Amino acid sequence: MFRKALLSITLLVGSTAMPVTALTASQIVEREVVVFNEDGSQTITRIAADKVTPGDKVVYSLKYFNDEDNPAENIVLVMPIPTQVDYIEGSADYEGVNSVFSSDGGKTFATRNELKVLQSDGSQEIAQASDITHIRWTVKNAVAPNTGGSLSFSGRLQ
């Protein structure tokens, strides 16, 4: 059975750490489909992920929009990865966005190459893609009024 990811959005204005309510966000979950053309080429399309099966590539997109009259700064968006989905490496990296990851349910975050998991013997090892539980994006530049953007990550259904 497929379960949609929950979305957690935190917004900060400047350095005041005051929540912003004017930014709206919506999540879209799509399944990636490869279509083989008559000439042998392939076309990749996305369709609603109403039904997915193990092995399917699923794309989780987060569209955000600044509804306010002033630029929105220090936008931080956090998206959990469903437990039955393995993150696909590199799919959450964007120019102008700082992407960090969690392997402990969103308690702590680190860059991908510094993300570790605690082993049963108390040691730590570099996290595998399947260990990632959350992605946190920080948009580096202000988002102008009445504009927005889109961030996404891909995963494979287990």
Q: Does the pLDDT value for residue 4 go beyond 60?
A: no
* Residue 10 or 64, more confident: 64
pLDDT, position 7: 41
Q: Does the pLDDT value for residue 15 go beyond 60?
A: no
Give the C-alpha separation, 23 to 116, whole Å: 32
Sign of CA dihedral 90, 26, 103, 137: positive
**What average pLDDT score do residues 49-54 get?**
93
Residue 151's alpha-carbon distances to 61, 65, 116, 143, in angstroms, are 6, 12, 24, 14
Give the C-alpha separation, 107 to 14, whole Å: 23
Which segment of 8-12, 29-33, 50-54, 98-102 scores lowest on mean pLDDT?
A: 8-12
Name the CATH architecture for the domain at 8-27+59-153: Sandwich (2.60)
Which two three-digit tokens encode residue 1? 């059975």
Q: What is the residue-averaged pLDDT of the chain?
A: 87
* 92-125 b/e (C-beta count within 10 Å ≥ 16 → b): beeeebebbbbbeebeebeebeebeeeeeeeeee
Give the C-alpha separation, 43 to 37, whole Å: 7
Contact 124, 116 (CB under 8 A): yes
